[in-house]
């Protein structure tokens, strides 16, 4: 049986619904032999995942997914192998989490104005990153919508009535932060930027180390092939993962649904001695 990898996972430390330990157990059962935890804008889950991965016999690469904006588009950038104690990185991530909290309050206020008396339980700071999925789940739990997807489609997705943009972090800053913390900077799910020309411009302008080629947003073979070509042409490392959050109604719904063959990521993994 081919060994599998998953280098893109979210836990309860950002907007996923499973703890790092639960993810490690699910990964083990799915045949995954190397994983990374890539929570949005926080390093909080990394120590727990490090231990859980070790206990389940899975290789572990620490990660973090930065939410940046450029030309009014959301651009996610993943840092792999960052120093978890890097002071500048920790400071800027804390700023971003604060901005996330303020934005969450604004979105909730807007939902109240729209007549939804939704109450979003916000965990104490404790370095957890809050996000729109927390609001979406509260809207589901309180019966205003049936699914997380419906919450995004009707109210909190980009351009919808309760949408508010997020953070002032830029792609150049994220790449700089990752590099000064000793990590590799990877353009996450380039197709999700929603503008290939912009994605290519960023890839040409910034000192990325890699591209996330294998991702549910590139499940069409044409899309995957497009980004695979770009990575090869530009001599960028190739990564991949499920971007699993655990949300029902959002692909992938389980860790087994988006398998990535470990051997496809071998150049990247070699950089971590794997
Ligand atoms: P935020 O970081 O607060 O802007 O929220 C973005 C997160 O919401 C993403 O990382 C996904 O987890 C989730 N998300 C974005 N769009 C959708 C969607 N259409 N349906 C469900 N979840 C989504
Ligand atoms: Fe997310
Ligand atoms: Fe992302
Ligand atoms: Zn993600």
Contact between 94 and 126 under an 8 Å Cβ cutoff? The reply is no
**Nearest in space to 174 (alpha carbons), one of 12, 63, 13, 253:** 63
Q: Which strands make up the sheet holding 4-6, listed edge to edge?
A: 237-240, 210-214, 184-187, 73-80, 59-70, 32-37, 4-6, 260-261
Ligand 1 neighbour 132 (Cβ under 6 A): yes
Residues 6 or more apart in contact with residue 176 via CB below 8 angstroms? none
pLDDT in single tens digits along all 274 residues of the chain: 789 999 999 999 999 999 999 999 999 999 999 999 999 999 999 999 999 999 999 999 999 999 999 999 999 999 999 999 999 999 999 999 999 999 999 999 999 999 999 999 777 767 889 999 999 999 999 999 999 999 999 999 999 999 998 877 999 999 999 999 999 999 999 999 999 999 999 999 999 999 999 999 999 999 999 999 999 999 999 999 999 999 877 889 999 999 999 999 999 999 999 9
Position 20 scores a pLDDT of: 98
Ligand 1 neighbour 250 (Cβ under 6 A): yes
Position 166 scores a pLDDT of: 82
**Cα 142 to averaged position of ligand 1 atoms, centre (Å):** 19
Ligand 1 neighbour 66 (Cβ under 6 A): no
Ligand 1 neighbour 97 (Cβ under 6 A): no
**Its pTM surpasses 0.85:** yes
- How many alpha carbons fall within 13 Å on the CB side of residue 173? 16
Position 196 scores a pLDDT of: 98
The best mutation among 250, 251, 252 to test binding of ligand 1, ranked by most ligand atoms within 8 Å of the C-beta, falls on: 250
**Cα 38 to averaged position of ligand 4 atoms, centre (Å):** 7
Position 125 scores a pLDDT of: 65
Residue with the smallest CA separation from ligand 1 atom 21 is 149
Ligand 1 neighbour 246 (Cβ under 6 A): no
Summarize pLDDT for 80-115 with one digit per residue, the tens: 999 999 999 999 999 999 999 999 999 999 999 999
The best mutation among 64, 104, 132, 148 to test binding of ligand 1, ranked by most ligand atoms within 8 Å of the C-beta, falls on: 132
DSSP H stretches of helix in the chain? 20-29, 46-56, 87-113, 132-141, 148-151, 171-180, 196-205, 221-233, 266-270
Ion ligand 4: residue ranges with CB closer than 5 A = 65, 243
Ligand 1 neighbour 256 (Cβ under 6 A): no
Give the burial class of 33: count Cβ atoms within 10 A of its Cβ; 0-12 exposed, 13-18 middle, 19 or more buried. Answer: middle
Is cis: bond before 252, omega within 30 of 0?
A: yes
Specify the ligand 1 atom closest to the Cα of 133.
Answer: 8
Ligand 1 neighbour 155 (Cβ under 6 A): no
Position 207 scores a pLDDT of: 98
**Cα 14 to averaged position of ligand 2 atoms, centre (Å):** 7
Contact between 107 and 132 under an 8 Å Cβ cutoff? The reply is yes
Summarize pLDDT for 131-154 with one digit per residue, the tens: 999 999 999 999 999 999 999 999
**Cα 73 to averaged position of ligand 4 atoms, centre (Å):** 15
């Amino acid at each position: 049986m081919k060994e599998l990898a998953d280098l893109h996972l979210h836990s309860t430390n950002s907007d996923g619904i499973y703890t790092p330990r639960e993810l490690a157990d699910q990964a083990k059962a799915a045949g995954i032999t190397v994983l990374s935890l890539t929570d949005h804008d926080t390093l909080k889950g990394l120590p727990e995942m490090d231990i859980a991965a070790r206990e389940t016999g899975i290789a572990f690469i620490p990660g973090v997914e930065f939410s940046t904006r450029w030309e009014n588009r959301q651009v996610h950038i993943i840092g792999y192998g960052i120093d978890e104690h890097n002071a500048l990185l920790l400071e800027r991530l804390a700023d971003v989490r604060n901005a996330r909290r303020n934005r969450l309050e604004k979105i909730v206020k807007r939902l109240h104005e729209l007549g939804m008396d939704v109450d979003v339980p916000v965990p104490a700071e404790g370095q957890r990153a809050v996000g729109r999925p927390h609001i979406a789940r509260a809207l589901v739990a309180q019966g205003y919508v049936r699914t997380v997807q419906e919450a995004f489609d009707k109210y909190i997705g980009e351009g919808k009535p309760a949408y508010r943009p997020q953070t002032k972090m830029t792609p150049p800053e994220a790449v700089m932060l990752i590099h000064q913390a000793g990590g590799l900077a990877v353009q996450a799910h380039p197709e999700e930027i929603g503008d290939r020309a912009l994605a290519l411009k960023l890839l040409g302008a910034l000192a990325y180390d890699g591209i996330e080629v294998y991702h549910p947003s590139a499940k069409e073979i044409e899309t995957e092939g497009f980004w695979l070509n770009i990575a090869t042409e530009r001599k960028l490392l190739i990564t991949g993962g499920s971007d699993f959050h655990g949300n029902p109604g959002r692909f992938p719904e389980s860790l087994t649904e988006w398998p990535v063959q470990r051997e496809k990521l071998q150049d990247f993994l070699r950089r971590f001695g794997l």
